[in-house]
């Protein structure tokens, strides 16, 4: 039997609807959540992601602005702008799109954002709070993974979750979220990486397998347990002459083979991707409520 396809698009639409209603209520109390997005340069993927984030803000009712600096902008100019935005009460969330040009230190830029306005949850203060079990916001992609699982009826509680990949963006924060002692988490989590021995043996022991290592179609059918739930965080551009653009997107799993064996799996595209943008909206709203003390219960 073929696996259930976990549509991040559908779950995203459901969450956005909830957020939209929340924003409507906040607006009645005089609060319009605001998000400012900053980009340096014209990286094609970044341009497209930011357009998506702007459109989704509008859909949910969040006020958003996009600031674009030329590629050669000095780091000091970017830091100065962030200092201004930290003080600007219109904006409850600040996002600096990554990657930044090489002459700019990503760490210095992330550190310059007021942790209360850190919509991505990349600031070390917020990463630390998550790790000690006192989270403020949650990082968007891993939070999206957790929401897909919960809302599809596959709560990670008590399950063995195996995460492949230890990036600061995905693997590590997902680990931190899923080991929290709270509903929708409380899982036993194993993180695999390039130093892992006997990878297939470990991945086969997963009730829930998360592929987040950035290797196209790496996870094969013989690496998963029958009946497992698989979440594919990978977004890899591969050449595809059948497409007008000349390329297609594939995940970190061999989707076609796995879907004949597993209980449920997310597709690429249309799986985790749409959730990332939605959880950014979630964070902006939560940040606005925390900063103003205005909330809708």
* Active-site residue set: 53, 97, 120
- Closest residue to ligand GUN using C-beta atoms: 98
Shortest spacing between CB 37 and ligand GUN, in angstroms:
8
CA dist 83 and 75 (Å) reads 12
144 near 256, Cβ under 8 Å?
no
Give the alpha-carbon dihedral of 194, 129, 287, 88, to 10 degrees: -90
CA dist 7 and 151 (Å) reads 11
Shortest spacing between CB 294 and ligand GUN, in angstroms:
26
112 vs 258 by CB, closer to ligand GUN? 112
Buried b (16+ CB within 10 A) or exposed e, 111-128: ebbbbbbbbbbbbeebbe
User: Which residues are near ligand GUN by CB under 6 A?
Assistant: 95-98, 120, 140, 276
Question: What is the spatial order of strands in the sheet that 63-69 belongs to?
Answer: 63-69, 34-40, 93-96
19 vs 95 by CB, closer to ligand GUN? 95
Shortest spacing between CB 141 and ligand GUN, in angstroms:
6
253 vs 278 by CB, closer to ligand GUN? 278
Distances (CA, A) of 270 to 9, 142, 274: 5, 16, 6
25 vs 103 by CB, closer to ligand GUN? 103
Shortest spacing between CB 96 and ligand GUN, in angstroms:
6
């Amino acid at each position: 039997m073929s696996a259930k396809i976990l549509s991040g698009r559908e779950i995203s639409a459901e969450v956005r609807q909830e957020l939209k209603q929340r924003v409507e209520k906040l607006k009645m109390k005089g609060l319009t959540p605001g998000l400012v997005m900053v980009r340096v340069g014209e990286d094609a993927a970044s341009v497209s992601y930011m357009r998506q984030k702007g459109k989704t803000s509008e859909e949910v009712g969040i006020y958003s602005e996009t600031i674009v600096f030329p590629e050669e902008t000095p780091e000091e100019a970017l830091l100065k702008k962030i200092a201004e935005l930290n003080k600007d009460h219109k904006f409850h969330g600040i996002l600096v799109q990554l990657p930044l040009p090489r002459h700019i230190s990503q760490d210095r830029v992330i550190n310059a954002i007021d942790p209360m306005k850190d919509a991505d949850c990349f600031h070390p203060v917020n990463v630390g709070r998550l790790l000690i079990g006192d989270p403020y916001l949650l990082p968007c992609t891993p939070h999206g993974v957790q929401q897909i699982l919960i809302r599809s009826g596959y709560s990670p509680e008590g399950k063995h979750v195996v995460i492949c990949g230890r990036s600061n963006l995905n693997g590590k924060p997902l680990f931190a979220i899923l080991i929290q002692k709270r509903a929708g988490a409380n899982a036993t989590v194993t993180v695999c990486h390039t130093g892992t021995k006997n990878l297939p043996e470990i991945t086969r022991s997963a009730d829930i397998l998360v592929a987040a290592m950035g290797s196209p179609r790496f996870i094969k059918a013989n690496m998963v347990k029958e009946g497992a739930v698989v979440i594919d965080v990978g977004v890899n551009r591969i050449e595809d002459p059948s497409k007008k653009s000349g390329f297609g997107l594939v995940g970190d799993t061999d989707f076609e083979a796995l879907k004949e064996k597993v209980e449920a799996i997310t597709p690429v595209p249309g799986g985790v991707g749409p959730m990332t943008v939605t959880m950014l909206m979630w964070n902006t709203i939560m940040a606005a409520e925390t900063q103003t003390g205005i909330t809708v219960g």
